[in-house]
Copies of this chain bind each other. A is one copy, B any other.
Amino acid sequence: MKAVGVIVEYNPFHNGHFYHIKESKKETEADITIAVMSGQFLQRGEPALVDKWHRTKMALLSGIDIVIELPYVFSTGHATHFAEGATQLLDAIQCDSFAFGSEQGTIQPFLNTYSLLKKYDDDYNALIKQFVSTGLSYPQSLYMAYEKLKKLEEKDYIDLSQPNNILGYHYVEAASRLNLSIKPVTIQRIKAGYHDSIFKDSSIASATGIRKSLFESLSLDEIKNYVPTTTFTQLQEWKDKHTQFVNWDTFWPLLRYAIIRNTPEQLTQFADVSEGIEHALMKAARKSHSFSQFMTTLKSKRYTWTRLQRMITHIYTGITKDALQQFSKPTYIRLLGMTSDGQKYLSENKKDFKLPLISRVASTKDAMLQLDLRATEMYGQGLNLVSKDAPAADYQTPPIRL
């Protein structure tokens, strides 16, 4: 059996994801699809709308055959680290290829860009420095340096101002640099852009748009056209059980308490908290009555929303810089769920996996896995504030079989 991998958050699963799975299988002629999915906390530094079990179920009900968890260490990390963890896991579980969506839509320009930047690495860094010294921001300087470099060799390159091209580039770059045998493939994204809100007349909307609608409208019906029925049912089930979807507003009383309970000095134990932001975090937590007030107080050109949210995630879970830094590569493949086809693939290929497959977490002492268990617990603590029916701990939850 041939498997294609996808790197996902499914927050929540929507029609665009469905389209991507279908196209990925077609393009790669794969028999099954394996998703490596972020757990309770996501790359932009926020808790998932619904927990990983509900998101796993959405995936399995809509075309994914196996869902494995991207460990907390990678799922909440910077793009490079995120990409390294995800591609290594898909490689370890013997996917033939992995497919990502991009504005570009063809893979060669990604490979060309990678070769170019690798070849002219020193020039690239020198150019960036030069642009920064003229007063441009770091992302602007990156872009300008790249534009200059592209003129050196006449080939097709990707446009690095497009968000999904950037993400895809990180995957391609990670797989190449780490010499993984897994092959990158890209699928053209359709319609709704990442930053769009819901278009009433379309059946594709971004996850961001869908979340916005879920938090702003009292009825789930608003998003009905943009997600598979199976997602809709899972979301409905979650809401009935837990009264609301999760975001930082839900966890705010605990988050604020966690920040204030530290001294500014103690806050610097957490990744990226340094150079004085610890005092600003403390001060903002003290005087803010809501998460959005807190973030608005803190946000600046230097401290972007995402950067702040990543700090906050680690403060909230209590996972320190030191705890994160001990790990550079995945140490296990954590199974969250599978279909019967997925199960067949696992039994056939298990012996060739490059990392141990973990189905029951109770039986392992893996240090990296302990952070995932903690993340689930902390997610549950926050959910407890609004729900009588908080999710079970990881060691009480077996993989979902469909």
Contact = CB atoms under 8 A, between A and B. Distances in A.
Interface of A: 253-254, 256-258, 260-262, 286, 317-318, 377-378, 381, 384-385, 393
5 contacts: A257-B378, A257-B381, A260-B381, A262-B318, A385-B385
A197 to B, nearest CB: 32
B384 A253 contact: yes
Nearest to A262: B318
A318 B260 CA distance: 9
Nearest to A380: B260
B318 A381 contact: no
A262 B318 CA distance: 7
A378 B261 contact: yes
A305 to B, nearest CB: 24
A384 B253 CA distance: 8
A262 B253 CA distance: 18
Contacts of A318: 261-262
A393 B286 contact: yes
B384 A260 contact: no
**Most-contacted residue by chain B among A261, A262, A384, A393 (CB, 10 A):** A261
A258 B261 CA distance: 9
Nearest to A385: B253
* Copies of this chain per assembly: 2
A258 B254 CA distance: 9
Contacts of A254: 253-254, 257
**Most-contacted residue by chain B among A257, A258, A261, A317 (CB, 10 A):** A257
Contacts of A261: 258, 317-318, 378, 381
Contacts of A381: 253, 256-257, 260-261
A389 to B, nearest CB: 11
Contacts of A385: 253, 385
Contacts of A262: 318
A69 B51 CA distance: 46
A263 to B, nearest CB: 8
Contacts of A378: 257, 260-261
Contacts of A377: 260, 286
A387 to B, nearest CB: 12
A384 B385 CA distance: 12
A261 B254 CA distance: 11
A286 B393 CA distance: 9
A254 to B, nearest CB: 5
Nearest to A390: B289
Q: Which 9 A-B pairs have the closest CB atoms?
A: A261-B318, A257-B381, A254-B257, A260-B377, A253-B385, A253-B384, A260-B381, A262-B318, A261-B378
Contacts of A258: 257, 261
A284 B83 CA distance: 38
Given A257-B378, A286-B377, 14 more contacts: A253-B253, A253-B254, A253-B381, A253-B384, A254-B254, A254-B257, A257-B257, A257-B381, A260-B377, A261-B318, A261-B378, A261-B381, A262-B318, A286-B393
Nearest to A378: B261
Contacts of A253: 253-254, 381, 384-385
Contacts of A256: 381
A220 to B, nearest CB: 27
A385 B251 CA distance: 12
A256 B377 CA distance: 11
A255 to B, nearest CB: 10
Contacts of A317: 261
A223 B378 CA distance: 40
A37 B256 CA distance: 29
